[in-house]
Amino acid sequence: MSRVLIPFPDLQPLAVDLAARLNARVAPVGWRRFPDGESLVTLDPQLSGVDVVVVAGLRNVDSVALALRFVAETARELGARSVGLVAPYLPYMRQDTRFHPGEAISAPIFARFLEQSVDWLVTVDPHLHRNPRLDGLFSIPTRHVAAAPAMAAWVQANVPDAILIGPDSESAQWVGDIAARAQVPFQVLAKIREGDRAVRVSLPDPIAARGRTPVVVDDIVSSGHTMIETLKHLATLGLLPATCLVTHAVFSEDAYERLLTAGAQRVVSTDTIAHPACNAIGMAPLLAVACEALLAERTPSLAAP
User: Which residues here bind ligand R5P, judged by CB under 6 A?
Assistant: 168, 170-171, 199, 218-226
Q: Which is nearer to ligand R5P, 225 or 233 (CB)?
A: 225
Q: Answer for the pair 173, 133: CB distance below 8 angstroms, yes or no.
A: no
Q: Which is nearer to ligand R5P, 95 or 156 (CB)?
A: 95
Of residues 103, 111, 42, 52, the one with CA closest to residue 76:
52
Q: Which is nearer to ligand R5P, 131 or 226 (CB)?
A: 226
As measured in angstroms, the least distance from the Cβ of 94 to ligand R5P is 6
Q: Say how many Å lie between the first and final Cα of the chain, rounded.
A: 26
As measured in angstroms, the least distance from the Cβ of 111 to ligand R5P is 19
As measured in angstroms, the least distance from the Cβ of 188 to ligand R5P is 12
Helices (H), the chain: 12-22, 61-77, 106-115, 148-158, 172-182, 206-209, 225-236, 255-261, 284-298
As measured in angstroms, the least distance from the Cβ of 19 to ligand R5P is 30
Q: Which is nearer to ligand R5P, 225 or 275 (CB)?
A: 225
- Please provide residue 168's backbone torsions phi and psi, each rounded to the nearest 5 degrees: -155, 170
Please name every residue paired with 5 in a beta bridge, in sequence order, or none if there are none.
26, 53
Q: Answer for the pair 119, 96: CB distance below 8 angstroms, yes or no.
A: no
Q: Which is nearer to ligand R5P, 70 or 110 (CB)?
A: 110
As measured in angstroms, the least distance from the Cβ of 221 to ligand R5P is 5
d(CA 225, CA 193): 10
